[in-house]
Structure 1
Amino acid sequence: MIYNTVKTTLRQSVMLAGFRSSPAFVAAFGVLLITVIGLFTAPYIGMADNGDFFRNIYSNGLYFSQPDYDSQYFGYFVKQFGIYQYYNENGATLASSQSLFISLAIGLNKLLFSSTVFDIRFQAAIYTLLYAAAVYLLVEAITCRMTRKQGMLCALLAIFVFGDTGYTAYFNSFYSESIVLIMMLYVFAAWLLLYRKRYNDYFLLALFVISGLLLTTSKQQNAPVGIILAGLGIMLFWVRKDRIFRVMTVISLVLLFAAGIGTYLNISKEFVNINQYHAMTRGVLKDSANPETSLKSFGINEQYAILKNNIYYEQYGTVDVNSPILEQDFYSKYGFVSILKYYLANPDQFSSILDVAAQSAFSIKPAAMGNYEQSAGKEFRAQSHFFALYSLLKGILAPKTFGFILLWMALVTGLYMPSFIKALKARDSRGMQRMALIVASMAVGLSGIMVSIIGAGDADISKHEFLFTLSFDLVSVLGLSGVIGRRVSGSSEPAAGMSANMPKVQKGVSI
């Protein structure tokens, strides 16, 4: 009797432990643990300021409190800032959803730490929790119909890729890449869960649109993201026949489209000039064999060829970048569309700059910024290698040509096309969602490259292409997980009720 009771208790304990250690939980907990060790234990890992932090901190009630802060640009991570105590005369230099999270972190900081000193680790803590939840949903979407062994392998893959401190170091900074990382994972996971018919469709639709809005409005470069998600997200309209779901889907897509347009229109004149300047000096003119001829095609005085390779922020520049003369004779002569037309008319030069972009397209962590505090005793711009094997290997091994990117896109599309065609023939709208998600993710990634090179040349390009490297990782992890599950083929889906904890699964089915 006692033996049977003990045996039953042990069995229940094992089952409970199995539930708690599902692949999604293991992945989320692994990423959480690694991030906590890296960002919240000495020596603390973060990102040095490249001069962009002022855009986000002054308008949110913070200021640089260290007297030697300027000497730490690019080299050292700074974790504490001052909190304005009285009237803050600084207006917002840009509108960003990032301000919501900074304000939340400041409120938490005042409640638990100080009303005069802001510790950026409060912001990192918020990001870390949101990120762990996003990883959980992503891995749950990927593994919910796998065997436990397959699911655990996918969980380890997710930890290896998304636990990399090349990604999470952004949490200890004021770069908007933190929001891009987290919200892109939520968008991807929500759409994939809708495809899986996992959880409540209305909840997932809400998660998709809220994350998409925060992603689109996180930085001005992401304006095309809302338009892309709205365009390809129209596939979600047919997921359910409920009138209310379809109405909510249309409203969601309109909001995403409006957010994209609004983000673009809200770009301040200052940033327009900065990007325009680099688009010409570090883009069109940089690889032009005849800069004078290139300028002439835009109707610009050929003497401006002297600006080739110039940087907007140069202390002793060739010209005054804010002068009325430059505004009249230079900036007013070209824009995003005219530069795109120029590149299309000059395919060799376009191919060249695309390859330049590809050289930085797989860099998760920019080499220009250090990761340690000055007090850690590391050299200027020293980079952390703690749990950064994936970002290191990716930067070394990934082919640095745009041709590889096109080949990768063709391969991924080809792998998933059979299941999409089968779903299309069967009029299975939910079954079509995976291909829509993959195409949208690749389009979002490409927009990161195109906006970078056409809108700002090669200036700070590795950070500008963060959206591509993230999209590449999400789609690649999905594809590799399919290989692990041996279910990349176009065979039918298993029953929706099967979970990662079930010992058996139908073989040869599509994920």
Structure 2
Amino acid sequence: MNKASAWLQRWLPVLSRYLPPSGLAAVGVLLVTVIALFTRPYIGMADNGDFFRILYSNGLYFNAPDYNSQYLGYFVKDFGILQYFNENGTTLTSSQSLFIKMSIWLNKLLIDSQHFDVRVQAALFTILYIGGVYLLVEGLTSRMTAGKGYIIAFMAVLVFGDTAYTAYFNSFYSESIVWIMMIYLFASGLLLYRRRYNDYVLLGIFAISALLLTTSKQQNAPVGIIIGVMGIGLLWVRNKRGFQVLAAGSLVLIVAAGAASYVLIPKEFVNINKYHAMTRGVLNGAAEPEETLQSLGIDRQYAILSGSIYYEPYTTVDVNSPLLEQRFYNHYGFGSILKYYLTHPGQAGSMLNLAARDAFIIRPAAMGNYEKMAGKPFGEQTRFFSGYSLLKAAMTPKTFGFILIWMIVILGMYTPSFLAELRSKHRRGLIRLPLLLMMIAMGLSGIAVSIIGAGDADLAKHEFMFTAAFDLVTLALVSDLIRGSIWQPEEVDAS
């Protein structure tokens, strides 16, 4: 033991000089991701039917003759690039389009002008991802001893290298952007807190990642409001008017982006979500569905829709009919559904517990990870470097009560140091707790929007933001416990 200790004391300073914990984490995640996504058998995510919303408007189309038979079961990596005028309008407004268009441009430049390989997009995401992992681990391990830093780096590789996260890169799900931008958002906040790198550059990273995250999908509209409100502490990072003006302007822009994301939700998607919010949410859990509808001013006969899905081929009523629009959709909104749950706490609690069952699942069970040519069974999911996600799904309690306990632990652990920073008037030190609470609030918004906006329809995928926020905040908590200064303020005076 003494020899091992002496060896570590001798070589850790050398290793930390040439490959610090943040660099080691980045290299480790890069190696695992390259093996998973870019070597056979390629790992990706099968289409659950959502890809068409973003594909055609960006100049891509399904060119596999048997594509329909591969839904949910097999990952498809090759798509066609439209060669002439694209008559398809924008189905939805999303920052995801920026990355798809950039990937298409790179694909045409480096590979082929007619056929798109989704691995080009995966390569772009991987580069961004590695940068985010580096910055986050740097924020977690800054001013930490090398030995402790490498423990954090090892944990980071287990979490960020997990294929449950990286498989999304080989797909057209917006979860890739959500995950990467959440990492950059959290990393920039931690680096500002620990006074690492240039404050103006970090503020720019914070603002850009927040904008891309908020506009990545309409479900994230509340995220802009949350960041704008809970990010006010950025105004006091530096006691300089120029920085404060930039910070205030960034927060206003982020809030505006959230509002715009909500306003720009297409009518079709609004009706889909409203349908599921009622049939798979309110009615599905109501003891007396007819009375529930009557209380909302809706004809009791529509109770027959309870438990139904918008996409069912054979339904009792046309979900797109003017009749349903006038007598069903127009009688309620997300506000009235929220009010209903607030006045029916028992049913709300049941829905929250139902949501908690899927809140810790990173990769939904419905989508396969392999190409058809790999010879795997339909819907087969990879277990390559999936230890963390499998352990997380198996070990975490499946109740909303556990989520509440987790939140209370975070608040209780960090409040003493926050109050100490407040008393000593260390402006920069006041960032950490609001940053953690911002991430938690973003995660909770994912659960709330899922329940209020779509009931129990596809919960595992809709709650992705919560499971991502849980991992980031928990990793920060473990890092600060290892650091040993969670109860006391750090040397982070404002400049």
TM-score between both structures, scaled by the size of structure 1: 0.93
Quick one: which of 48, 61, 64 aligns to 1:63? 61
CA offset digits 1:410-434 (Å, max 9, x no partner): 0011000000000111111110100
What is the CA–CA distance in structure 2 between the aligned matches of 1:19 and 1:216, rounded to whole Å? 37
What is the CA–CA distance in structure 1 between the aligned matches of 2:110 and 2:15, rounded to whole Å? 34
In the alignment, structure 1 segments of 5+ residues that lack a partner are 1-12, 497-511
Quick one: which of 135, 138, 142 aligns to 2:136? 138
For residues 80-479 of structure 1, the aligned pairs below 5 Å read 80-479=78-477
Do structure 1's residue 493 and structure 2's residue 490 form an aligned pair?
yes
Equivalent residues of 1:300, 1:329 under 8 A apart = yes
Query: What is the DSSP-based 3-state SS (H/G/I as helix, E as strand, rest coil) of the residue aligned with 1:316?
Result: coil
What letter corresponds to residue 378 of structure 2 in structure 1? F
CA offset digits 1:361-386 (Å, max 9, x no partner): 00000000000000000000000000
CA change 1:51–1:495 in 2 (3 A) is closer
What is the CA–CA distance in structure 2 between the aligned matches of 1:224 and 1:20, rounded to whole Å? 42
Equivalent residues of 1:187, 1:212 under 8 A apart = yes
Query: What is the DSSP-based 3-state SS (H/G/I as helix, E as strand, rest coil) of the residue aligned with 1:285?
Result: helix
What is the CA–CA distance in structure 2 between the aligned matches of 1:146 and 1:122, rounded to whole Å? 37
For residues 24-39 of structure 1, the aligned pairs below 5 Å read 24-39=22-37
What is the deviation of 1:17?
Answer: 4.9
What is the deviation of 1:239?
Answer: 1.1
TM-score between both structures, scaled by the size of structure 2: 0.96
What is the CA–CA distance in structure 2 between the aligned matches of 1:495 and 1:340, rounded to whole Å? 41
How many pairs were matched up?
A: 484
What is the CA–CA distance in structure 1 between the aligned matches of 2:300 and 2:52, rounded to whole Å? 35
Equivalent residues of 1:64, 1:81 under 8 A apart = yes
What is the CA–CA distance in structure 1 between the aligned matches of 2:184 and 2:72, rounded to whole Å? 30
Query: What is the DSSP-based 3-state SS (H/G/I as helix, E as strand, rest coil) of the residue aligned with 1:428?
Result: coil
Equivalent residues of 2:48, 2:367 under 8 A apart = yes
Partner of 1:6: none
Q: CA RMSD in A?
A: 1.3
What is the CA–CA distance in structure 2 between the aligned matches of 1:91 and 1:457, rounded to whole Å? 29
Equivalent residues of 1:145, 1:494 under 8 A apart = no
What is the deviation of 1:15?
Answer: 6.6
Query: What is the DSSP-based 3-state SS (H/G/I as helix, E as strand, rest coil) of the residue aligned with 2:231?
Result: helix
What is the deviation of 1:293?
Answer: 1.0
What is the deviation of 1:487?
Answer: 2.3
What is the deviation of 1:485?
Answer: 1.9
- Seq. identity, %: 62
Query: What is the DSSP-based 3-state SS (H/G/I as helix, E as strand, rest coil) of the residue aligned with 2:480?
Result: helix
What is the deviation of 1:389?
Answer: 0.6
Partner of 1:499: none
What is the deviation of 1:495?
Answer: 7.5
What is the CA–CA distance in structure 1 between the aligned matches of 2:287 and 2:490, rounded to whole Å? 55
Equivalent residues of 2:12, 2:147 under 8 A apart = no
Query: What is the DSSP-based 3-state SS (H/G/I as helix, E as strand, rest coil) of the residue aligned with 2:75?
Result: coil
In the alignment, structure 2 segments of 5+ residues that lack a partner are 1-10
Deviates more, 1:273-282 or 1:284-293: 284-293
What is the deviation of 1:319?
Answer: 1.4
What letter corresponds to residue 349 of structure 1 in structure 2? Q
Equivalent residues of 1:184, 1:211 under 8 A apart = yes
What is the deviation of 1:392?
Answer: 0.4
Equivalent residues of 2:12, 2:146 under 8 A apart = no
What is the CA–CA distance in structure 1 between the aligned matches of 2:199 and 2:450, rounded to whole Å? 35
Query: What is the DSSP-based 3-state SS (H/G/I as helix, E as strand, rest coil) of the residue aligned with 1:286?
Result: helix
Write out the 4+ residue segments of structure 1 that deviate beyond 3 Å after TM superposition.
13-18
What is the deviation of 1:14?
Answer: 9.1
Equivalent residues of 1:47, 1:77 under 8 A apart = yes
What is the CA–CA distance in structure 2 between the aligned matches of 1:18 and 1:317, rounded to whole Å? 63
